[in-house]
Amino acid sequence: MTYRKNIVRKTSLIAVLFAIGLMIAVPVAVSAAKPSNNNDGLLPELQAVVPDSLQVVHTQQSDTLRFTNGIANTGLGHWQMEPTFPDGPDGNVVATQQILDADGNIVSEVVVSTYEWHEDHNHWHIADVTEFSVHSGSPDGPLVGDSNKVTFCVEDVYAMVGNSNTADRIFWDCTVSLQGVQAGWADQYHQSTPGNQVDITGIAEGTYYLVHNANPDGIFIEEDTTNNKAWTEFIVTHKNNGQVGITETGNTSCDDLPDSIYKPALCGEVTANRG
């Protein structure tokens, strides 16, 4: 299949809607790869924000752990993906990550993932952005439940330092434009967002860890893929009515992260609409 480069913007809305009507996005195998020559390109640095606002939702004999989370870009470069649509009715909408230099010029491009149309949200998601898991006893302990790889609409939600003025957002439209998170900003997902959940039905009382792993397969190009996890510790108790109760008791990054201007944001102390 030959693909045609098409930077989708508002002026190409008709073409986008036509493409949506023609195809169903199917996952495509992609491999983690860094450009052979960055040509002084500025790389993003993806880090998970500590998950918070944990709660258990009880429905039809099941228990689901829900939470708020975020993905921060603490690097010098933007995390920027462009959709490329196939020429015909068959094929995948691929996500091409673009590496920019200090002047905003594209110095390299690598296919990293796919775009998938989310019917309920009525916009495009990027596949395999993050993963959530619950472990017993420690962040690396026995796995209790996980979310598999989660697709998300990736955009600027708040600046990690200073005010989050709407006019300062670069990535803000997941329907007809590029997706990404600019340097110094974070994307945030409320606990009610589909995907921010792990099934913990049948969980025993004890101490557990909710682990958020951004870029879990290392498919997105960034400075360092070894520091993408953040976790929150919580204790599970069983109420008299049989329902599960949880109490947050700690988290990873606030004590372990080196001091930086982004530390409060990575610890969940900075949120959308700040200032």
Q: Which residues contact 48 (CB under 8 A, 6 or more apart)?
A: 69, 70, 71, 72, 130, 212, 213, 214, 228, 229, 230
Residue 37: predicted pLDDT: 44
Partners of 133 in the beta sheet? 146, 211
Residue 245 inside a domain? The answer is: yes
Residue 247 inside a domain? The answer is: yes
CA distance 74 to 101: 16
DSSP 167: G
Residue 127 inside a domain? The answer is: yes
Residue 273 inside a domain? The answer is: no
Residue 61: predicted pLDDT: 85
Residue 57 inside a domain? The answer is: yes
Residue 272 inside a domain? The answer is: no
Residue 146 inside a domain? The answer is: yes
Note down the domain range covering 109.
10-30+38-266
Quote the pTM value.
Answer: 0.81
CB burial string 13-45: b at 16+ within 10 A, e below: eeebeebbeebebeeeebeeeeeeeeeebbbbb
Residue 17: predicted pLDDT: 36
Residue 148: predicted pLDDT: 80
CA distance 225 to 219: 9
Residue 3 inside a domain? The answer is: no
CA distance 275 to 271: 10
How many folded domains does the chain comprise? 1
Rounded mean pLDDT for each run of 10 residues along the chain, 275 residues in total: 32 37 39 50 95 91 91 96 78 91 96 85 86 95 90 92 89 86 93 80 96 96 94 93 90 71 83 51
DSSP 243: -
Per DSSP, the residues of 80-138 read EEEEE-BSSSSS-EEEEEEEE-TTS-EEEEEEEEEEEEETTTTEEEEEEEEEEEEEESS
Closest CA to 210 of 127, 274, 147, 275: 147
